[in-house]
Amino acid sequence: MTLDELPTPCLLLDLDVLKRNLARMEAAMARHPGVMLRPHLKTAKSAAVADLAAPGKGAITVSTLAEARYFAEHGFLDQVYAVGIVAAKLDQVAALNAQGAAVKIITDDLDTARAIAAHPGALPTLIEVDVGEGRAGVSVDGTALLAIAAALGPKLAGVMSHSGHSYAGRSDDAMADIAEVERAGIVAAATRLRDAGHTIDIVSAGASPTAMHARHLDGVTEMRAGVYMMGDLLQGQIGTHPLEDIAVTVLGSVIGRYPQRQAVLLDAGALALSKDRSTEGAPRDWKFGRVLDRDGQATLGDALVTRVHQEHGEVRAAEGSTLALDRLPVGARVRVVPNHVCLTAAAHDRYHVMEGGRVVAIWSRINGW
């Protein structure tokens, strides 16, 4: 199958680039013997990708219970469900674990910890610790850490953190510094709990930038990272991968030409691309996505999706560049490179997998919750 035979808009996955990105992270983690990489499948949401990222049905991270069920059905049993749990979801996790899975859950809430402890099912739990992002988690040195651990009792399996603020880093050294703050914080939390008599087997940390740039990971047992597999325009600017190694693009068609305003319209709008503007604060702002030609080459001028509506994306050239309108007749196909691949991919239920310029497979994705 060729690109011209695909419906638009649709999601493309370049298999060669995916494999390069996986190899790059494997090489980075090889610097830290004894620390396991637990790939986060929140971006990929595909068993076929998981087979490459966690070969041998290895340990993974998930972000929804739909993912947990789907990956367990595909043989990926060792999971961390890395979103804070609520009591109403405990039965679902316990049922998965009763069927042979080993899904770990997370909490930073004392009442939830009590509900976990009272539940009859197997519910190994990690306490979420805030190491600087300010999104979720208890403080390393506060009373909540010890109180939650005491409430969990034997269901306490470890501690976890997420350094999402590393996405704001603008140099390798900045990312390495954030990684060290996270490492020191999560290890300190584990040490406090061990000193209080608790068994802490899992010390889980991570984000793609910190996994890539950490100087050392002493005391950490595993790193969780996910966006590195596919890459995007933000990660390509902060050093997670080269800008050219973005594996996912959206294939769209030109549906209107407007020479008077030096613009074209695509059939890929907000529902196909997302409205994420994460590159707005990055060194280069790509608006709603970079636009390449059908073959993924930059032959259209410095082209950007500058405006999106539900099913329309407007393409113009960046300031100082000229849009190659002669290469963009109605019906022409282009690829849009995403700002934030997790959100762009979430709009699609399958990957059209490319190798050597041809579509060689279709891989399904598990969306929803």
Give the pairing type, strands 202-205 and 156-160. parallel
Q: Is the confidence at residue 35, as pLDDT, over 90?
A: yes
Instruction: Count the neighbouring beta carbons within 10 Å of the beta carbon of residue 91.
Output: 11
Average pLDDT, the chain: 98
Q: Which residues contact residue 1 at a Cβ distance below 8 angstroms, ignoring those fewer than 6 apart?
A: 352, 358, 359
pLDDT tens profile 57-67:
999 999 999 99
Q: What is the DSSP letter of 326?
A: G
Q: Which runs of E-coded beta strand occur in 40-133? A: 60-62, 78-84, 102-107, 125-128
DSSP labels for 242-255?
Answer: -TT---EEEEEEEE
In a 3-state reduction of DSSP, which class is residue 3? helix
Residues, the chain:
369
Closest CA to 339 of 268, 290, 283: 290
Region of 8 on the Ramachandran plot (φ > 0 left; ψ -120 to 50 alpha; else beta):
beta
Residue 138's Cβ-side half-sphere holds a number of Cα atoms within 13 Å equal to 26
Rounded CA separation 30/47 (Å) = 24
How far is CA 310 from each of CA 29, 148, 187, 286, rounded to the nearest angstrom? 40, 44, 45, 19
Answer positive or negative: Cα dihedral of 300, 228, 342, 182. Answer: negative
Q: What are the backbone dihedrals phi and psi of residue 59, each rounded to the nearest 5 degrees, phi first?
A: -70, 140
Q: Is the pTM of this model over 0.85?
A: yes
pLDDT tens profile 97-148:
999 999 999 999 999 999 999 999 999 999 999 999 999 999 999 999 999 9
pLDDT tens profile 246-273:
999 999 999 999 999 999 999 999 999 9
Give long-range contacts, CB 8 A cutoff, 24+ apart: 120-123.
120/94, 121/90, 121/91, 121/93, 121/94, 121/95, 121/97, 122/94, 122/97, 122/98, 123/90, 123/93, 123/94, 123/97, 123/155
Walk me through the domains of the chain, giving residue ranges and CATH numbers. 3-11+247-364 (2.40.37.20), 31-229 (3.20.20.10)
Please identify which residue in the block is written with the tokens 């300190």: 188
Token pair, residue 43, equals: 């971006």
DSSP labels for 199-231?
Answer: ---EEEE--HHHHHH-S--TT--EEEE-GGGT-
| Mean pLDDT value of segment 334-344 | 99
CB 53 within 8 A of CB 42: no
Rounded CA separation 3/354 (Å) = 9
Token pair, residue 296, equals: 């993924």
Rounded CA separation 96/122 (Å) = 9
Q: Is the confidence at residue 189, as pLDDT, over 90?
A: yes
**Which residues lie across from 99 on neighbouring strands?**
none
Token pair, residue 363, equals: 């891989």
Rounded CA separation 295/300 (Å) = 11
Closest CA to 2 of 246, 367, 357, 337: 357
Cα-trace Rg, the chain: 22
**Which residues lie across from 316 on neighbouring strands?**
304
**pLDDT for residue 164:** 87
pLDDT tens profile 137-178:
999 999 999 999 999 999 999 999 999 899 888 889 999 999
Give, rounded to a whole angstrom, the gap between the first and last alpha carbons of the chain.
Answer: 32
| Mean pLDDT value of segment 269-292 | 97
Q: What is the DSSP letter of 132?
A: S
Q: Is the confidence at residue 1, as pLDDT, over 90?
A: no
